[in-house]
Amino acid sequence: MAPIRKLTLAINASKDGAAELGRELAAIATKAGVTVREIAAQPVAPGSLAGQDACCVIGGDGTLLGVAREAARAQVPLIGVNRGSLGFLTTFSADEARTHFAALLAGAYRLTGRAMLECGPAGGERDLALNDVLIKAEENSRLVRLEVEADGELVTDYTCDGLILCTPTGSTAYNLSAGGPIIHPSAEVIAMTPICPHTLSNRSIIFRQEVKLRIHNRTPDSPMLVALDGQRHPGIKQNEIVEVSISKLRVQLVQAEKYSHFTVVRTKLKWSGGLVDRR
């Protein structure tokens, strides 16, 4: 891959050891002749990644999600270094980053494009989500009746705590906790998983890439909260129709050349079972 010559460090200083690790990686990059600048993570300002070859995010998955929208718009690849807990997106450990950072900056990496969702009110401004869109009652104790359309056709309506609409990347986040499926990140689909539906049939639905979803709130006295990657969408009013689809934009993630998605999933989710010697 192309060498990285202009690098932004997005550091979540609230994470233990993140600031110190940032200084170490900045020193490695500077020694390699890379121009380095730092920005505060969560959230990054519009235009802050323009002209950069890559952005190294030091924190947890939430930190990377806070940078992902701007990275997608600027088409700047993200290097995720984990100083949080799970680290599905921040796949480099601190030790791996220290050991391999110089080689990575020289081009020893691969890029993977991850689908994003776009969401907004019907006919209104859209925003992006790398993991998921959450639609729920604004009051945590309230059920809400949500009606779902796909390409103008009624799918069903749910009386539930809410709905999770996720990308394959986000399938291992809130969707997984709510009983939804794990989806390989290269799949071009949207998964919809109800949260605690008042029904004996509770199943996720997988939609094709081109689908246009519309969600109606059929409980007028129960206002909706719409959150994209955990951040409330400020442009959606109380009872507006919510539209969700797959964006044309992709976020590019930097991975080690020998990265294995299923190795990450097995490790992070602590899957049990013996490995078979296939030699």
Q: Catalytic residues, which ones?
A: 61
Q: How far is C-alpha 49 from the chain's CA centre?
A: 18
Q: How far apart are CA 38 and CA 26, in angstroms?
A: 9
Token pair, residue 184, equals 């390989």
Answer for the pair 111, 255: CB distance below 8 angstroms, yes or no. Answer: yes
Answer for the pair 268, 86: CB distance below 8 angstroms, yes or no. Answer: yes
Q: Which amino acid, one-letter code, is at 53?
A: D
H or E segment to which residue 18 belongs: helix 18-31
Answer for the pair 14, 43: CB distance below 8 angstroms, yes or no. Answer: no
Q: How far apart are CA 92 and CA 87, in angstroms?
A: 8
Answer for the pair 91, 264: CB distance below 8 angstroms, yes or no. Answer: yes
Give the chain's radius of gyration (CA, Å): 20
The DSSP bridge partners found for residue 190 are 207
